[in-house]
C-alpha cells in the first residue's frame, strides 16, 4: 500500500513539475514571439526608414543649405534652395515619412510602452500637416508645415527601442538554449 501510494505521489509530483515547466516554456515562447513581432513589424522597419530620412536630410542640408544662423539673417531659403527643398521633400522625405506613418498605423499595438509615445504621435501629425503643404505647393502657394518635425528625439527613441528589444531577444534565446 505504501509503495502504491508513493508511486502515485511521485507520478502526481512529476506531472505537476512537468506542467509548471511547460507553462514557463510557453510564457517564454510567447514573450519571444512578441519581441520578434515588435522587431519585424514595427521597430525594424521604423529604424530603416528613420535612418534613411535622417541620412537623406543630413546630406541635403550639408550640400544645399547654408547654416541656420545664415538662413535666419537672410530671412529664409533662397529661391534655388526652396526649389531644391521642395523636390527633395516630394521625392524622398515625405514618401519615406508616409511609410513610417503607415507602419505606426498598422502596428501601433506593438510599441513597448502602454501608449504610443508622444514623439511618434507628433511625427504622424507632422506628416499629415505636410499633406496640406504639398497641396498648397501644387497650387503655386508658399505652403508652410504647421506641425514641426519632432527632431532628433524620434530617431533616438527608435534606435534605443530597437537596441533594447534586440538585447531582450538575445536574453530569451540564451535562456532557451
Whether 142 contacts 74, CB under 8 Å: no
Cell of 11: 507520478
Under 8 Å between Cβ of 77 and 71: yes
pLDDT at 139 over 70: yes
Q: What is the CA radius of gyration of the chain?
A: 26
pLDDT at 72: 52
Distance CA 88, CA 71 (A): 18
- Rounded-to-integer distance, Cα 60 and Cα 87, Å: 11
Per residue in 61-118, pLDDT (tens digit) is 888 876 665 555 455 777 888 888 889 999 999 999 999 999 999 999 999 999 999 9
Contact (Cβ atoms closer than 8 angstroms) between residue 65 and residue 77: yes
CB 109 within 8 A of CB 158: no
Which has more pLDDT, 3 or 173? 173
> pLDDT tens digits, residue range 5-52?
888 888 888 888 888 888 888 899 999 999 999 999 999 999 999 999
Amino acid at each position: 500500500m505504501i509503495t502504491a501510494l508513493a508511486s502515485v505521489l511521485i507520478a502526481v509530483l512529476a506531472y505537476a513539475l512537468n506542467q509548471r515547466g511547460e507553462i514557463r516554456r510557453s510564457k517564454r515562447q510567447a514573450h519571444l514571439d512578441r519581441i520578434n513581432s515588435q522587431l519585424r513589424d514595427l521597430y525594424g522597419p521604423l529604424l530603416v526608414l528613420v535612418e534613411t530620412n535622417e541620412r537623406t536630410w543630413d546630406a541635403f542640408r550639408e550640400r544645399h543649405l547654408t547654416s541656420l544662423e545664415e538662413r535666419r539673417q537672410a530671412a529664409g531659403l533662397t529661391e534655388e534652395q526652396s526649389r531644391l527643398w521642395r523636390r527633395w521633400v516630394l521625392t524622398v522625405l515625405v514618401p519615406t515619412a508616409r511609410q513610417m506613418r503607415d507602419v505606426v498605423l498598422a502596428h501601433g499595438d506593438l510599441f513597448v510602452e502602454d501608449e504610443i509615445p508622444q514623439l511618434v504621435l507628433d511625427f504622424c501629425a507632422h506628416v499629415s500637416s505636410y499633406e496640406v503643404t504639398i497641396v498648397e505647393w501644387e497650387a503655386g502657394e508658399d505652403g508652410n508645415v504647421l506641425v514641426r518635425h519632432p527632431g532628433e528625439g524620434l530617431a533616438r527613441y527608435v534606435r534605443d527601442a530597437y537596441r533594447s528589444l534586440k538585447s531582450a531577444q538575445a536574453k530569451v534565446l540564451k535562456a532557451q538554449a
